Structure 1
Amino acid sequence: MITYPHLKNGATIGVTAASSGVPVELHEIVKLASTRLEQKGFRVVCGDTVWTQKKAKSAPAVKRAAEFNEMMESHEVDIIIPPWGGELLVEILEHIDFENMKNKWVLGYSDTSALLLAITLRTGIATAHGTNLVDLRGECSDGTTAMWQKVLSCKPGESVLQKSSDYYQKEWRHDNPSPCVFHLTEPTRWKSVSNGDVKIKGRLLGGCIDIIRHLIGTPFGDVQSFRNTFLGGGPIIWYLENCELNTTDLRRSLVQMKLAGWFEHCSGLLFGRSPANTPVDNYTVEDVYHTLSDELGIPIIYDIDCGHVPPQITFINGAYAEVEAVEGKGTVLQYFRP
């Protein structure tokens, strides 16, 4: 059975840098994001790791893990949101206390997705793949990003519907800040390998493929045991997004997932828009998707609202979902079923 946390009004948000911290010159954006959330009625508590960054991490692995464990076990903290992702979160997994975790949300993406997936696979506690803290610093949020609060406020047994964005951001323009942080200029269109309408049903699992692939073969990536223990053997929908991989590295990673059994009992795959996916010798990302769909005999929807090309839908690891792509528009209906 999957256990779902519940975000209450006036919740206390714990901010800890499980991967990268924030350099001094960017401390103001964390403070601004905290202020915006406090204006919405939240209380924000930042750990020491948030304010430091050295050698590709906020602090040594043991310190990062200890701060995260403390917030997970604290009665004062209701939800944990890292400031952003980073590079070396994988170092802390062996120091995380999975046995004594309280039932609370962890929200984020990018490098954080390794922690999200590991928590859900090991404990059956649902985790949230979506916005990070610094992207909540705007005067407002676009409709897609803003759904994080409604999604995490659902109670067990309830459902929540999210729709594809109208527009997505093609490039960051830090020199010209937007009231809503993102510059949403390009029309969103969800696509499918079949070029037709697609509907997929199953339990959601996923994250940044650059990161979660490193859980394969470790105690933190046992998908088969998770299915047997917490899902009763039901089908899985994988949602994946690519941060930095070219098409051949993406293909290698997907083959590794397949050979490791991660795609067994998979009802379909979802791929987010990507700033990477660089072709190699005319081998395109569409080639990757078509080959994988043929091999697995399942539908694939791509260019969805997930990952490093904002905005993004809030996906709940462990939730039962019905995902549709119809004439370029998408819907994700998530049920908080045990």
Structure 2
Amino acid sequence: MLYPAPLSRGSKVAITAFSSGVPAALHPRLDVVLNDLRIRGFEVLEGKCLRENAKHVSASAEVRAKELMQFLCDENVDAIMAPWGGEMAMDLLPLLDWNRLLHAKPKWILGFSDVSTVLTSITTKLGWATCHGTNLMQLSLNQTDALTSKVLDFLSLAEGSSFKQNNAHFYEAQYADYSKNPNAAFNLTEPVKWKVLNKGIREESSVTFSGRLTGGCLDIHMMLYGSEFFNPKACENESFILYLENAELSPTQYFRALQGLKLQGAFNNVSGILIGRNAVLDNDSDPVSGTEALTMALGELSIPVLYDVDIGHLAPNLTLINGALAKVELTQTQGSITQTLI
């Protein structure tokens, strides 16, 4: 793995929207989080593909790809962040000059949701470690939960370092309205408990597995899998931990996405699977729940499958470094993950 240089005071962070931009009503929130980056000691480089949003995008695919390439190839840029995800980051992938990027300086790229489209592609094609974690619009200084408040600290660690995260205590069931309160923090009200899906493994007093991390938003990765932009089979000489989270798929779509990955052999070289909290709430009009869909697809696997993990659209998020060597441990009382940057 190629690990970007650790972030430090004075590091330059470029901001550009890979997919959805920020509409005017949310500019006050954007200004809050950008200013908070400056307070942390970073130099902020604001891109042109950021403060507009039309038909789910901040600009045309060509303009977004050009700006992203500019930042990726800029030797003075140390990290790149998008405000959040969206729907259309996939249209950037064929427009990036991947041969040129092979000679670029690795830099940290951070976020989740549609941002994970770019993260996985960068890791797969360039071998750079990337960071699946809190999105910029959530990263205000008043987010004090143990997971969110540490993400930039983790990206300041040197190659070879290790860090450990425990499960959150509570998660947010309802998103904050940043248009009404630009300074809003997470409303962490719901208790967190990581769970084991597989019946036989669930009966054990503890669960432990290790491997290199890879994954992201299931809605996207079910379509990317097996392509040049997401091919974990390239690492068949070692096992990996696959993490996935559902943003918008109904229970039947959720089942088909996971079942499709299984039929393609996506879980054959996996030591364990982490499934994030399901952002799609169960409702009486669908006879199948999200957990039932998950069980039908993955319940018979012989490897550990943990679900309701701190990954995805119901904050807070673990910081997961794609490519890092990770060890996951779950006891009756606590879940944890330790990552080593090697």
* TM-score, with structure 1 as normaliser: 0.92
Distance 1:199 1:95, change over 3 A: same
Partner residue of 1:95?
Answer: 95
Q: Deviations over 1:202-252 (max 9, x none)?
A: 111110101122213432122222x15xxxx11111111111111111111
Are residues 1:206 and 2:215 paired? yes
Partner residue of 1:111?
Answer: 114
Q: Report the residue type matching 1:116 in the other structure.
A: L
Deviation larger for 131-140 or 260-269 = 131-140
Report matched runs for 1:34-73 at 5 Å. 34-73=34-73
Partner residue of 2:77?
Answer: 77
Helix, strand or coil at the partner of 1:296: coil
In the alignment, the residues of structure 2 paired with residue 178 and residue 166 of structure 1 have an alpha-carbon distance, to the nearest angstrom, of: 25
Q: Is the contact made by 2:110 and 2:131 (CA closer than 8 Å) also made in structure 1? A: yes
Are residues 1:248 and 2:252 paired? yes
Q: Report the residue type matching 1:201 in the other structure.
A: S
Q: Is the contact made by 2:12 and 2:42 (CA closer than 8 Å) also made in structure 1? A: yes
Are residues 1:124 and 2:117 paired? no
Helix, strand or coil at the partner of 2:335: strand
Could you tell me how far 1:326 is from its partner in structure 2? 1.3
| Aligned-residue RMSD, C-alpha | 1.9
Q: Report the residue type matching 1:262 in the other structure.
A: A
Are residues 1:27 and 2:27 paired? yes
Q: Deviations over 1:78-113 (max 9, x none)?
A: 100101101100001001223323211100000011
Deviation larger for 281-290 or 31-40 = 281-290
Partner residue of 1:264?
Answer: 268
Helix, strand or coil at the partner of 1:37: helix
In the alignment, the residues of structure 2 paired with residue 31 and residue 117 of structure 1 have an alpha-carbon distance, to the nearest angstrom, of: 28
Deviation larger for 111-120 or 288-297 = 288-297
Q: Is the contact made by 2:176 and 2:185 (CA closer than 8 Å) also made in structure 1? A: no
In the alignment, the residues of structure 1 paired with residue 65 and residue 291 of structure 2 have an alpha-carbon distance, to the nearest angstrom, of: 38
Are residues 1:183 and 2:187 paired? yes
Are residues 1:315 and 2:324 paired? no
Distance 1:179 1:54, change over 3 A: closer
Please list every run of 5 or more consecutive structure 1 residues that lacks an aligned counterpart in the other structure: none
Helix, strand or coil at the partner of 2:4: coil
Q: Deviations over 1:19-64 (max 9, x none)?
A: 1111112112111101111111111111000012111111111111
Distance 1:123 1:166, change over 3 A: same
Helix, strand or coil at the partner of 1:93: helix
Identity of aligned residues (%): 36
In the alignment, the residues of structure 2 paired with residue 52 and residue 290 of structure 1 have an alpha-carbon distance, to the nearest angstrom, of: 41
Deviation larger for 214-223 or 164-173 = 214-223
Are residues 1:216 and 2:225 paired? yes
**What is the aligned counterpart of 2:307 among 294, 298, 302?**
302
In the alignment, the residues of structure 2 paired with residue 75 and residue 173 of structure 1 have an alpha-carbon distance, to the nearest angstrom, of: 36
In the alignment, the residues of structure 2 paired with residue 9 and residue 180 of structure 1 have an alpha-carbon distance, to the nearest angstrom, of: 26
Partner residue of 2:241?
Answer: 237
Q: Deviations over 1:166-213 (max 9, x none)?
A: 111111242885966101111111111243432121111110101122
Partner residue of 2:7?
Answer: 8
Q: Is the contact made by 1:243 and 1:276 (CA closer than 8 Å) also made in structure 2? A: yes
Report matched runs for 1:142-157 at 5 Å. 142-157=145-160
Q: Report the residue type matching 1:86 in the other structure.
A: G
Helix, strand or coil at the partner of 1:212: helix
Distance 1:293 1:177, change over 3 A: same
Q: Report the residue type matching 2:219 in the other structure.
A: D
Aligned residue pairs: how many? 331
Could you tell me how far 1:141 is from its partner in structure 2? 2.9
In the alignment, the residues of structure 2 paired with residue 192 and residue 95 of structure 1 have an alpha-carbon distance, to the nearest angstrom, of: 40
Q: Report the residue type matching 2:105 in the other structure.
A: K
Could you tell me how far 1:313 is from its partner in structure 2? 0.5
In the alignment, the residues of structure 1 paired with residue 5 and residue 50 of structure 2 have an alpha-carbon distance, to the nearest angstrom, of: 25
Q: Is the contact made by 1:141 and 1:180 (CA closer than 8 Å) also made in structure 2? A: no
Partner residue of 2:282?
Answer: 278
In the alignment, the residues of structure 1 paired with residue 286 and residue 49 of structure 2 have an alpha-carbon distance, to the nearest angstrom, of: 42
Deviation larger for 58-67 or 212-221 = 212-221
Deviation larger for 202-211 or 190-199 = 190-199
Please list every run of 5 or more consecutive structure 2 residues that lacks an aligned counterpart in the other structure: none
In the alignment, the residues of structure 1 paired with residue 208 and residue 293 of structure 2 have an alpha-carbon distance, to the nearest angstrom, of: 21
Could you tell me how far 1:155 is from its partner in structure 2? 1.4
